[in-house]
């Protein structure tokens, strides 16, 4: 038998198979291999192969655009949106468009080609998250930008083209639909109950425990009740906060520890799967709010989307979140 | 430079690259090969390998569940939802669920293993569309079902598991989010202008011609202004009608001709790409409406979704619809 489950934030229904018990080993998997590349533009010593850096953490007093860094942020060489220009809004008969103004940056997470978020040092992970925060705080000064999306594609079938571990950051002159859906859902819950829906989720899940994956003093990792994808995992801060970039240093550190923990569990249980990691945060153009709660989503790419999902936005998930969290909890690290 | 374009129905923004001019030949493509399979359960003579048929078109007076058919509809052997049982709605603390009641059927489009919608006879195509209509009209008698999704996955990377050409039909006890988004957008347009937004699109596109792909007396194929995917193509009936299953026989025939035409163009321009074909129709639980307009979407699967799309629901399309329609229009059949 399967169940229809409703996401408590967006109201989106998901079909969860609770009988098929598709085990981790049954998925067609592509293990991510980090292939060496002597021409990788993201490797230390190849700084001349990227656009000039926007920021870097450098421990040894080295100068910009040369070796000696831990994390380096550069503009994307083939940006989907560009910083230069005027935000021009136009109609074309029935249709509406605006010029492709935005920013598209790459956070190069390590000087080493073969390092990943699952293997790097605690200090390295801290520097990656701090770089995301700093770039968001810088870009939000530009009032053309309404939202900033921070996301990571790991492995070719999750959409990564450079192999060298990196996170991307796109600043947009709009608030995208899925972000708006979450905001509106969270706001509706708050209006009805005077409570943040994510705080409610945290309370119920930490009490029940059946969908918990791991936790530490500041952060909780869980399989969401209406998981769209097998082994989808969310990491939420225990402290209510709408904007990722407004968190405290010890929270970034705790987040980094839990990201590494979850990725190592996935690497063991699912044999180094491709994945997307997404930071969901309130639009930079919004004030701090009582109803939205930033969080991280980690989604292993082990199933294919097909026509049904395309036609409906309703996902069929062959692995129940209770089973996924049991598998991930059970991994011995 | 790129452009942000807004879908006039859903309000969803898309980033369209208008400068990169990624040509058809530049995509990483997987040409769909129909591999022979002596154990294919969908081939004529193998009727015992499927559940009992729900309907079939049989030209020679042959009996059910044996050879002699053109199109055959059977329940899916591994349904995502089941017909049997009571639609039970429950809460689990904060969360809501219902039992997985629905229907999941397979329309086997041809007795021949190597036939596709692009190659079959006109009569074969007519029979496929008629079978979809008949199954929808039958299933909508069951008042537990709110919407019926008809979709086709062609090729493994578009999600097809049986190779033998087939279309799927899923009846749901809910109206899925993306269907609701279209309905609400179309309704808002109608309330503002007293006109169907799809009729408006048809008027503008047939007048301008820049995004037209092909047309006949009843149907128009076009590249939508805010295409999410390269070479995404919509086919709309010229006559306003909210429900696919309420169309007239000569409209199904005209639709079939245009589907075959578009698929042949895609096969030539994109080397037999995997694709999804989706019938967008008003929920079966809704009355005929002035604001919604059924249509077909054909989406070749030649790009990968990555973290950005996952985080935002906002798509980056490397091929402008003007370029896509020019390429498809230019194919000599």
Residue A177 maps to a domain: yes
Residue B25: pLDDT band with limits 50, 70, 90: low
| Helix H or strand E segment including B258 | helix B249-270
Between the two ends of chain B, the Cα-to-Cα distance in Å is 33
Q: Which of B113, B154, B166, B253 is catalytic?
A: B166
3 state SS of A295: strand
Kindly state the average pLDDT of the residues B29-57: 94
Query: What was the pLDDT predicted at A21?
Result: 56
- B213 in A contact zone (CB under 8 Å): no
* Full domain range(s) for residue A300: 2-82+99-330
**Lookup: tokens for B123:** 């009569």
pLDDT digits (tens, 9 = 90+) for B168-227: 999 999 999 999 999 999 999 999 999 999 999 999 999 999 999 999 999 999 999 999
**Lookup: tokens for A299:** 């989604």
Percent of chain B beyond pLDDT 90?
86
* Residues of A labelled catalytic: 166
Residue A185 maps to a domain: yes
Count the Cβ atoms, other than its own, within 10 Å of residue A81: 24
CA B139 to chain centre: 18
Listed as ranges, residues in chain A with pLDDT below 70 are: 19-26, 28
- B179 in A contact zone (CB under 8 Å): yes
Count the Cβ atoms, other than its own, within 10 Å of residue A122: 11
Chain A CA closest to residue B199: A94
ipTM, two decimals: 0.92
Residue A76 maps to a domain: yes
Residue A92 maps to a domain: no
Instruction: Please give the backbone phi and psi of residue B20, each rounded to the nearest 5 degrees, phi first.
Output: -65, -30
- Number of structural domains chain B divides into: 1
Cβ of B311 within 8 Å of Cβ of A181? The answer is: no
What sections of B9-96 are H helices per DSSP? none
Query: What was the pLDDT predicted at B67?
Result: 95
Angle, helices A321-330/A249-270, rounded to nearest 10 degrees: 100
CA–CA gap between residue A42 and residue A48 (Å, rounded): 10
**Lookup: tokens for A117:** 């978020």
Interface of A with B in 107-136 (CB under 8 A): none
Chain B CA closest to residue A90: B5
CA–CA gap between residue A56 and residue A128 (Å, rounded): 10
**A63 vs chain B: nearest CA distance in angstroms?**
32
- B28 in A contact zone (CB under 8 Å): no
Dihedral sign for Cα atoms in the order A283, B94, A23, A267: positive
Query: What was the pLDDT predicted at A25?
Result: 62
With CA atoms as reference, report the closest residue to B166 among B80, B107, B79, B104: B107
- B11 in A contact zone (CB under 8 Å): yes
Please give the C-alpha separations between residue B181 and each of B11, B41, B250, in angstroms, as whole numbers: 9, 37, 30
CB pairs under 8 A between A and B: 211
Q: Is A231 left (phi over 0), alpha (psi -120 to 50) or beta?
A: left
pLDDT: is A98 or B20 the higher one?
Answer: A98
| Chain A partners within 8 Å of B227 (Cβ) | none
**Lookup: tokens for B218:** 């009843």
Query: What was the pLDDT predicted at B22?
Result: 58
Residue B131 scores a pLDDT above 90: yes
CATH of residue A293: 3.30.428.10
Nearest CB neighbour to B204, from listed A20, A93, A226: A93
Do the beta carbons of residue B103 and residue B170 sit within 8 Å? yes
Residue B135 scores a pLDDT above 70: yes
- B80 in A contact zone (CB under 8 Å): yes
pLDDT digits (tens, 9 = 90+) for B63-117: 999 999 999 999 999 898 998 888 899 999 999 999 999 999 999 999 999 999 9
CA–CA gap between residue B281 and residue B148 (Å, rounded): 8
Query: What was the pLDDT predicted at A123?
Result: 96
Do the beta carbons of residue B266 and residue B273 sit within 8 Å? yes
Query: What was the pLDDT predicted at A152?
Result: 97
3 state SS of A79: coil
pTM tops 0.80: yes
Do the beta carbons of residue A198 and residue A244 sit within 8 Å? no
* Sheet (strand A219-222) strand order: A55-58, A69-75, A103-108, A166-172, A147-154, A275-280, A295-300, A233-237, A219-222, A212-215
| Chain B partners within 8 Å of A304 (Cβ) | 156-159
- A169 in B contact zone (CB under 8 Å): no
With CA atoms as reference, report the closest residue to B92 among A303, A65, A322: A322
Q: For residue B298, what are the β-bridge partners? A: B233, B277
Nearest CB neighbour to A1, from listed B99, B177, B201: B99
With CA atoms as reference, report the closest residue to A224 among A147, A325, A121: A325
| Helix H or strand E segment including B289 | none
Query: What was the pLDDT predicted at B147?
Result: 96
Cβ of A8 within 8 Å of Cβ of B226? The answer is: no
């Amino acid at each position: 038998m399967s169940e229809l489950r409703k996401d408590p934030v967006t109201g989106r229904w998901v079909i969860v198979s609770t009988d098929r018990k598709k085990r981790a080993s049954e998925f067609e998997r592509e293990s991510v291999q980090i292939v060496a590349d002597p021409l990788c533009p993201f490797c230390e010593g190849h700084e001349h192969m990227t656009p000039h850096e926007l920021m870097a953490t450098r421990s040894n007093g080295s100068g910009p655009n040369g070796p000696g860094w831990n994390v380096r942020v550069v503009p994307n060489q083939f940006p989907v949106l560009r910083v230069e220009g005027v935000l021009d809004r136009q109609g074309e008969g029935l249709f509406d468009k605006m010029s492709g103004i935005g920013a598209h940056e790459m956070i190069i997470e390590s000087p080493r080609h073969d390092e990943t978020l699952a293997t790097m040092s605690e200090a390295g992970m801290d520097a990656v998250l701090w770089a995301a925060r700093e770039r968001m705080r810088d870009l939000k000064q530009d009032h053309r930008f309404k939202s900033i999306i921070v996301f990571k594609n790991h492995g070719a079938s999750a959409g990564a083209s450079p192999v060298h571990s990196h996170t991307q950051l796109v600043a947009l002159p709009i608030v995208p639909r899925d972000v708006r859906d979450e905001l509106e859902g969270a706001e509706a819950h708050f209006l009805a109950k005077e409570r943040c829906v994510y705080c409610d989720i945290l309370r119920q899940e930490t009490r029940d425990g059946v969908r918990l994956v791991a936790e530490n003093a500041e952060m909780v990792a869980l399989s969401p009740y209406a998981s769209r994808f097998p082994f989808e995992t969310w990491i939420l801060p225990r402290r209510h906060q709408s904007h990722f970039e407004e968190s405290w240093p010890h929270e970034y550190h705790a987040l980094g520890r839990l990201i590494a923990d979850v990725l190592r569990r996935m690497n063991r249980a699912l044999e180094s799967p491709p994945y997307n990691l997404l930071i969901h945060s309130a639009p930079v153009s919004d004030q701090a709010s009582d109803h939205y709660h930033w969080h991280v989503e980690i989604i292993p790419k082990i199933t294919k989307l097909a026509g049904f999902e395309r036609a409906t936005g309703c996902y069929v998930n062959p692995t129940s979140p209770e089973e996924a969290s049991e598998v991930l909890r059970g991994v011995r690290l």
